[in-house]
Structure 1
Amino acid sequence: MHFLHTADIHLGKTYRTSTNEFERYEDFFRVLGRIVTDAIAEQVDFVLIAGDLFHTGQILPRTFARTIETLQPLKDAGIPCIAVEGNHDWIHRRDSISWMEALSQMGYINLLRPARTEDGGYRFDPFDPETGSGGHIEIKGINIYGLGYIGTQAGNHVARICEAVTTDNNLLLFHVGVWTYSPVEIGNMQPDEALPLAERFSYVALGHGHKPYVITTPEGRPYALNPGAPERVNFGEEKYDKGYFLVSVTDGTYHHEFRPTTPRPMLVVTANLDGSENAEQALDTFRNQITEQVCHLSDERRPLLEVRLTGRVAFHPFELGRERLRLALDEICSPLHLEIKNHLSLVTRSGTGEDIKRSLAEIERDVLGELISANSGYKERKDELVSLALAIRDQVLKGDIEGEELLGLLSREP
């Protein structure tokens, strides 16, 4: 018996403000296609997807069509794909069927979701292929239970999960992180809260955090594993290993092997422009420092690049605009997507001869504050509206936000 365990695919992710939107969009389908190909080549008994197949619950129809196209070879090979919902998959309008439910009803995945009892417990009903629903499925003697994302109180549910399982040879598919291992800040449980799962389940297939890790019992037995995301989803993941687990089961013992994938190169670089007297001098320094930091790239694919500007300069930071920096970077490495973090400080002289340092963030807040305060009706809420404007600006520049999310920011309670 052997199976493939992956998670956090994030299909549909792209940068909507970028001219290279489609190329980045395809990255996530390419990596899923590679995983499907590997699963067929290894003739696995099943594939596990531990949540966040999609980047958002409200996907585009073309994303659904591409998902079907990518999973079709797995279905044709007769390899079951068992999945649970992650926090990104969840559709908040429960009067509508989710895309995950649709995939399950069409037979491309077996979506596991438990029922709840009147006293707050769990009930893992057998999976029904006719309806595409259920909480438990048995494949070649292994009982697979599924539980999607249940939020920050996941640790409090462990006892009820274990109580609901009465079979042997159990595997749990669970979209949750474990503190000290998971890099995410929400949706985690403590290691001591997770440990009782080891008594009921031989293998706990985790998702949620995009960094791979393996958790062992005090005796040293691996029991909970998170493969991380196979593609780099966000900046901050540039140094994480990327891949999935290929797991074999022999006489009830699980042996895992981490299989690496080939994500698009992602770099976070810093340009220290301290002491620059003018924008031209700063731009020359910028070119030299960035070239030195990206010269080691051997991947022919255009990188995802985050640039951080630091230092005290004698010119207004606005002079070193995004377009000017982008043109310089196009000559150096032609990034597929660019994010600029401008932490430059403007140094001026006061009447007493003392240096006054003002960051770009401070200047932006002051300018926005003056514009908002010009309308007396907004003056009392100046700080709140400035923060809201900057939050919207940051999300739009990242190109990673849906229209509904922007409307949610704009429609916050006063």
Structure 2
Amino acid sequence: MRFAHLADVHLGYRQYGSEERALDFAQAFKKAVEFAEEQNVDFMLIAGDLFHKKSEMDPVTLAQATVVLERTGCQVIAVEGNHDSTYFRERFTWMDYLSSQGLVVNLKPSFAGGEMEVEEWDGRSGAYIDVGDARVYGLKYYGMLTEKILDSYLPHVVGDGFTIFMSHFGVEGYMNIYGCINSERLHVHRERIDYVALGHIHKKYVEDDFIFNPGSLESCDLNEYRFEKGIFLVEYDGELSYRHVSSFYRPRVFRVIELNFEDYSSLRERLLRERGEGKEVVHLRISTDRNIDREKIEGIARETLNPLVLRVEVDYSRGVLQATNLSVSSRKEIERSVISAILKGFGYEDIAEEVLRLKELFVEGRIEAVDDIVTAIISEKVEEAREELKREEREFETAEDGEEEWRWWEAG
């Protein structure tokens, strides 16, 4: 038995507003599926996030998925990731649409009267399917409810023959992102599960030849360009063997260039030395203590590097520290702007004032006050997380079984 395991395709992602980047994601998916077919796999697993947006589907993205899936000669089994479908109230997703067209088997449990039902795939819905000598169980993304859902779902898994459990969540310790659990919750079921197929974290990892995450096919974020990407090819003939493959596709090159600005002439010389093959995604980070012409900087960078995408970040923090001729209020305003810009990149711009105040307290040596602010920030974030969990639990408790989402389909 041989199968391919891929995840986090993110079709339709126009990264940086670039149409060519959207084509990169489509080409990566096409190449991965073609490669798997060439290896004569019996089936393929897509462990979530086939699409980048669960709504606002455009015809081109849907066509990219449809054309590739129509040409596959084996069964494609999938689950929904957080980018495919997040909310319980969504009755019919684009993954359901592909399933209704016979292009994928979209596995997920159903709920009747608040009780979970893990039923066999009947051609339109179900939580598990038998493919040859393997049985594949599937669980969609459930966010903060993942641990609660897992505790209800995994006891339903029957370990007869080669058993695969596929879902979309992360394992703690590999990346600190939302939607991760402790792997021990999976290991306690190892007697009944042979292979855990995951997605969500965009870099490859394997834990104890039991939990597998192939990584994304393309870089969805600047922080990911060094991650190992690809798919798993897995064989089972009484013993499990696997290999991680990325040679079928070359991801778009990301280049990060950091420099201290001296003058425009030396900037040009430095960038000429940094020039790659062109058509790369370039992040240019410049530190300076003076006012510079941003448009001129971008013009020099485009001329010398010929990038597909150019992102320029200017760090004036040195200027903030050295601007002794400015008034105290002016220095604080500049510093506040710099801190806000830095935090915005990580989604924490709403605590810029607190961070600025922390810096002042550290300088003053008032550690007790620092503790008070940190405690307040953490308490606020914990309360936000609790409110989010309560919202998801309310939606989960009111979710009906899967029949409703098919009613319009049958009526048509």
**TM-score bin, normalised by smaller chain:** 0.7 to 0.9
Q: Which amino acid aligns with 1:258?
A: H
Q: Which amino acid aligns with 2:166?
A: L
The alignment of Structure 1 onto Structure 2 pairs a total of residues equal to 337
Q: Which amino acid aligns with 1:320?
A: D
Instruction: For residues 270-321 of structure 1, give each alpha carbon's deviation from its aligned partner in whole angstroms, at most 9, with x where no partner exists.
Output: 1123xx4xxxx1x3343333443x34x3xx461112222224x1x22xx332
Q: Tell me the distance in 1 between the aligned counterparts of 2:300 and 2:272.
A: 10
Secondary structure at 1:36's aligned position in 2? helix
Instruction: Specify which of 258, 266, 270 is matched with residue 258 of structure 2.
Output: 270
Instruction: Specify which of 285, 297, 308 is matched with residue 285 of structure 2.
Output: 308
Distance 1:70 1:112, change over 3 A: same
Where does the alignment leave 5 or more consecutive residues of structure 2 unmatched? 341-348, 354-412
Distance 1:91 1:342, change over 3 A: same
**8 Å contact from structure 2 (residues 98, 104) kept in 1:** yes
The alignment status of 1:211 with 2:199, answered yes or no, reads no
Partner of 1:380 in structure 2? none
Secondary structure at 2:310's aligned position in 1? strand
* TM value normalised by structure 1: 0.74
Distance 1:302 1:112, change over 3 A: same
Q: Which amino acid aligns with 1:128?
A: D
The alignment status of 1:36 with 2:17, answered yes or no, reads no
Residue 362 of structure 1 and its aligned partner are, at CA, apart by 3.4
Task: Tell which has more relative contact order, 1 or 2 (C-alpha 8 A, sep 6+).
Answer: 2
Secondary structure at 2:70's aligned position in 1? helix
Choose between structure 1 and 2: higher helix proportion: 2
Secondary structure at 1:134's aligned position in 2? coil
Distance 1:358 1:128, change over 3 A: same
Where does the alignment leave 5 or more consecutive residues of structure 1 unmatched? 217-221, 367-382, 388-414
**8 Å contact from structure 2 (residues 315, 338) kept in 1:** no
Pairs within 5 Å for 1:179-198 = 179-181=172-174, 183-198=175-190
Secondary structure at 2:222's aligned position in 1? coil
Secondary structure at 2:157's aligned position in 1? coil
Identity, % of aligned pairs?
28
Instruction: For residues 173-224 of structure 1, give each alpha carbon's deviation from its aligned partner in whole angstroms, at most 9, with x where no partner exists.
Output: 110100112x2510000132332242321000010000100011xxxxx100
Residue 24 of structure 1 and its aligned partner are, at CA, apart by 1.1
The alignment status of 1:350 with 2:318, answered yes or no, reads no
Secondary structure at 2:54's aligned position in 1? coil
**8 Å contact from structure 2 (residues 46, 77) kept in 1:** yes
Partner of 2:311 in structure 1? 339
Q: Tell me the distance in 2 between the aligned counterparts of 1:239 and 1:209.
A: 14
Partner of 2:214 in structure 1? 227
Partner of 1:115 in structure 2? 110
Secondary structure at 2:228's aligned position in 1? coil
Residue 15 of structure 1 and its aligned partner are, at CA, apart by 3.4
* TM value normalised by structure 2: 0.75
Instruction: Specify which of 149, 152, 173 is matched with residue 166 of structure 2.
Output: 173
**8 Å contact from structure 1 (residues 344, 359) kept in 2:** no
Secondary structure at 1:170's aligned position in 2? strand
Partner of 1:150 in structure 2? 142
Q: Tell me the distance in 2 between the aligned counterparts of 1:25 and 1:36.
A: 17
Partner of 1:47 in structure 2? 44
Partner of 1:72 in structure 2? 70
Q: Tell me the distance in 1 between the aligned counterparts of 2:103 and 2:118.
A: 21
Distance 1:180 1:359, change over 3 A: farther
Instruction: Specify which of 107, 120, 128 is matched with residue 126 of structure 1.
Output: 120
The alignment status of 1:100 with 2:95, answered yes or no, reads yes
Q: Which amino acid aligns with 1:343?
A: D
Partner of 1:328 in structure 2? 300
Q: More deviation in 57-66 or 207-216?
A: 57-66
Partner of 2:127 in structure 1? 135
